[in-house]
Amino acid sequence: MPWDIFISHASEDKELVARPLADLFRGSGVTVWLDENELSLGDSLRTKIDQGLAQSRFGVVILSQAFFAKDWPQRELEGLAALESSERKVILPVWHGVDQSFIAGYSPLLASRLAVSTDKGLGAVANEVLEVVIPMRAEEIGVPLDDFFPEDRTLFDALTGIFNRPAFRGRFLWQTDPVAFQRAIKLTLKSINTGVVEDNSGIARTMLSPITQIRDGKLHASMQQVATQLKTIDNLIEILKNTTDSNQRGKTISELDTKRDIVIGTLNKIWRCFGLHTLPIPTAITESTDVWELFPGPTTPGT
């Protein structure tokens, strides 16, 4: 779907609640439908809102006194309710300046829903919403994910720089220097296992959280599989360095490329889950690629 979240709110709550929440969601890689960003002069209000409602995974509904005093926000709520089923939860209520008894005066069913209050602070509200939205999006992408932890997203954001290096951006060609290529794989393994990021001369450039600190258990298991694939690639390069038979070399190179495709494919799913940049699959790159390790720079990976 084009949007992860549709924010339904009264205009009185835009500046203090709706807009800051939208910014927090987008900062975590979540796509947001907010009227001021989607409506242009001359647009049909009803048509655009209907599109937003129909094409959003969830509706964050900011329930306040102003919300219940207006007709249009309640129509949006009715539209979101129509999208729900026993298998699909859509409405995520946010209470702003109201409590359960106030809401029960308008809708006992709505009051019975688990909600989060802005009394906790907008950061806490955003995190509780993201704990629902991101695992659902991850499930659609095919990523095993138990929960959402902001620390995990930060860790994988850093990893985009670690893997955005020549050794993962093209086929392993017959003229490629296997020594330099192997060094790149070893450096990558060291980075994800220890958090120490070195360039190809062994100089430590920066630090990041190692994969042992991934909080989500399923994500941790996925990254352990990535580490295993990298170790296999390392072993394949060792075989390649000691093989002269052209047929065997061809088979080894093909297997090496397959393993790298698996690594980047696995990471791309996780990066998409968190709304981060992805990389092309190595064997899908057709232009000439220098796969010698040339670390991008002396600062944070990815800069």
CA dihedral 197, 200, 203, 208 (to 10 degrees): 0
How far is it, in rounded angstroms, from Cα 99 to Cα 115?
10
pLDDT above 50: residue 117? yes
pLDDT band of 44, cuts 50, 70, 90 = very low
Ranges 84-88, 234-238, 240-244, most confident: 234-238
pLDDT higher at 35 or 15? 15
252 has pLDDT over 80: yes
Q: Per this entry, what is the length of the chain?
A: 303
Q: Which of 134-143, 169-178, 185-194 has the lowest mean pLDDT?
A: 169-178
CB 57 within 8 A of CB 1: yes
On the question of pLDDT at 1 being above 70, the answer is: no
Mean pLDDT of 297-303: 38
Distance CA(265)–CA(255), nearest Å, equals 15
Confidence of residue 59 (pLDDT cuts 50, 70, 90): very high
- Mean pLDDT rounded to a whole number for the chain: 87
Can you name the residues that pair with 48 across neighbouring β-strands?
Answer: none
122-137 average pLDDT score: 94
Only one residue has tokens 């102003």, namely 66
- The string of pLDDT tens digits covering residues 185-232 is 999 999 999 999 988 777 888 899 999 999 999 999 999 999 999 999
Share above pLDDT 70 across residues of the chain, in percent, rounded to a whole number: 90
Query: Which residues are part of the catalytic machinery?
Result: 76
| Ranges of H-type helices in 28-69 | 35-38, 45-54, 65-68
CATH level 3 topology of 3-141: Rossmann fold (3.40.50)
Q: Indicate if the pLDDT at residue 298 is higher than 70.
A: no
Q: What is the mean pLDDT of residues 94-102?
A: 94
User: What tokens does 252 get?
Assistant: 């080894």
What is the model's pLDDT at position 289? 56
Between 49 and 62, the more confident residue is 62
Element (H, E) at 7: strand 3-8
